[in-house]
Chains A and B, each alone.
Chain A
Amino acid sequence: MSLNLGNIIFKPTDQYHLNDISLNFEPGKMYTILGRTLSGKTTLLKTIAGLQTPDSGNIQFEGKDFLAIPVWERNVAMVYQQFINYPHLNVKQNIEFPLKQRKMEENLIEKEVSDAIQKVGLKGFESRKIQELSGGQQQRVALARSLAKKAKILLLDEPLVNLDYKLREGLREEFKKLFTGSESSQSIFIYASTDPLEAMQLNGDIIVIDEGKILQTGSSKEVFENPANAKVAEITNDPAMNLNIGRIENNKLILNNNIQFNLPSSLQTMSSDNYLVGIRATDLHLDNNGFDFKVDISEISGSETFLHLHNQDIKCVATIEEVKSYEVDENVKINFDLSKIYLFKESGELLYSPYQK
């Protein structure tokens, strides 16, 4: 009952939108497609839905050639980042629309619709017009419509990104519950996101995609601990992992003439060469014995402060666990948690991870 994508290529212009995508989705599981804006996430979802036809490749679902089935017969559901509903219908009419389209029996429709309304917490709003709802409520309607369909494949394209922070947190929890609820467990859930944190929280399989190409697939832990390459390390961290060229020479890791470390023991097997040195923003911290950096920008996010720093050509971002504003060009001393350093080849492949097996 799985969904298989084989060598999907979609190249409408001279750039690849989907470049040789092969994936396998199992029912009852949750997949997160993680990638930056325009990386091909939405195109991939639309291809699965049937809104877009790939140039080549094949899709099999339940053993059948999915590409031969037009979108309106595929029985998938999709929730968009924009709050897409039918503006001329009220809440209830919106939710029952796909069921009526499928010519389901009236009393069954009643039941499914009221179930779905119940689930997304819109009881009492049945006859409201869409325009009279808040953004969060509108998205719940869209969600309810998808749930009521009991589609075998549920596609969610950054459904929470246009909501404010608090709503987002709340809805995300509900999502998890709804998706893992017993009756839905036979469906395939595919969730597209740009937010690594969200991907981690959803805790399903992660598919990292960039420029239409799959960079890595695996559990969230796997992807977090052992990013297959520097690109993945950037995409799966927010702020992106700091990456700078460094050199190993004479038992030292040299970033520039100011910033040099004694090579930690775990890295001593590495030969003398140039490497991409990666370290997460959270693994940098203020330390009076640290290196001198100048502040470029400081931004406060929630209970943290992101400091964009530079020392000569070395640039990095550090996450500081306090709320404090810094002047531009202010001097700060920063130290690195050397045990959390990643090494990549200059071409990007992972050479060393602190979590290496």
Chain B
Amino acid sequence: MPKLYTFLKYFCVILWSCFVIAPFLWAISTSFKDFNSVTGGATYIPWLQFEPTLDGWSVLFKPGSQGGINIIGPYFNSIFVTFTASFISIALGTLAAYALSRYTFKAGFVQNNDITFFFISQRIMPPVVLSIPFFIFLSTIGLLDSLAGLILVYIVLLMPIAVWIMVDFFNRVPKEIDETALIDGCNPFQAFFKVVLPNSIPGMIVAGLFCIIFGWIDFFFAFILTFTNVQLLPVKIVALNSSITPWWSLSAAALVSVAPLIIVAFIVERFLSKGNLTGALK
């Protein structure tokens, strides 16, 4: 019985691994193809089954006048917007989450849980809905097609995540720690900054990782709210989607866009293994 269980366990894990890897392997193979290799039917192994070419990859770094999309600038834009918005969201979200975890708020029937739900509910709205209002809002305050405008919108997208994770995190940090700090002569701000904050780094890192992931993969707002000055990576990549879907360059782009986040995956895993995440997530 245990042997069978072990076998099943490994079998399932390997099966899932194959499922996870399959599209990536396919993308790697496809990224070295061209029109003819693609339309000739499914092939997998370069040289053996098709003649590999670097066309798909070179498109990513050529200017538009040579049929490329040159993703370098957008790449850094994406990184900048994602990180800045994540940072602000974590800062504001952590403060709010701390208040919601430690203090009691009451205004009529509205209580802590309702406020928390209000934060999280900002993610319920489908992006389509908000795109036009956001467009008009940003154009009114003159931030359309700017990094600052995108960051503003991303804060709305990301702060709910930060609040959600940090409320859970703080609920697991004994409130007696803050109380002790207060008794030891800290006012509530000092208690937070001198005692709670240094012990919340794991939670904030997790919240930060989630924010980065959700910021990085957004397409819709970046698409609607920018024109020429600011281009983010996903928007730029989607611009490859011409009448013919260029399987090769889209595959290469997909691989390039996921690359930095694989580093994030390693960081997450490190935190998990070191146990630093204990209590960092609900």
Contact = CB atoms under 8 A, between A and B. Distances in A.
A88 B184 contact: no
A78 B183 contact: yes
A264 interface: no
B176 A87 contact: no
B269 interface: no
Interface in A21-76: 46, 49-51, 70-74, 76
Nearest to A87: B199
Report the interface size class on chain A: 20 to 34
Contacts of B51: none
A80 interface: yes
A72 B179 contact: no
B241 interface: no
A51 B183 contact: yes
B180 A80 contact: yes
Interface string B185-216: 11100100001001100000000000000000
A145 B195 CA distance: 15
A102 B185 contact: yes
A346 B182 CA distance: 46
A97 interface: yes
Contact of B184 (A51, A70, A97): A97
B190 A101 contact: yes
Contacts of A78: 179-180, 183
A98 B191 CA distance: 11
User: In the complex, which range does the number of interface residues on chain B fall in?
Assistant: 10 to 19
B183 to A, nearest CB: 5
B258 interface: no
A73 B190 CA distance: 13
Nearest to B198: A88
Nearest to B180: A84
Contacts of B182: 50-51, 71-72
B174 interface: yes
Residue from B179, B183, B185, B190 with most neighbouring chain A CB atoms (10 Å): B183
A77 interface: yes
Given A71-B182, A87-B199, A82 B176 contact: yes
A46 B176 CA distance: 11
A84 B177 contact: yes
Nearest to A76: B183
B183 A77 contact: yes
Nearest to A157: B176
Nearest to B182: A71
Nearest to B184: A98
A149 B184 contact: yes
Interface string A164-187: 000000000000000000000000
B188 to A, nearest CB: 8
26 contacts: A46-B179, A49-B179, A49-B183, A50-B182, A51-B183, A72-B187, A74-B183, A77-B183, A78-B183, A82-B174, A82-B176, A84-B177, A84-B179, A86-B199, A87-B177, A87-B199, A88-B195, A88-B198, A97-B181, A98-B184, A98-B185, A101-B185, A101-B190, A102-B185, A142-B180, A149-B184
Interface of A: 46, 49-51, 70-74, 76-78, 80, 82, 84-88, 97-98, 101-102, 142, 145, 149
Which A-B residue pairs are the 8 nearest by beta carbons? A98-B184, A101-B185, A88-B198, A84-B176, A71-B182, A80-B176, A72-B187, A84-B180
Given A51-B179, A85-B180, A149-B184, 5 more contacts: A49-B179, A70-B187, A78-B179, A84-B174, A87-B199
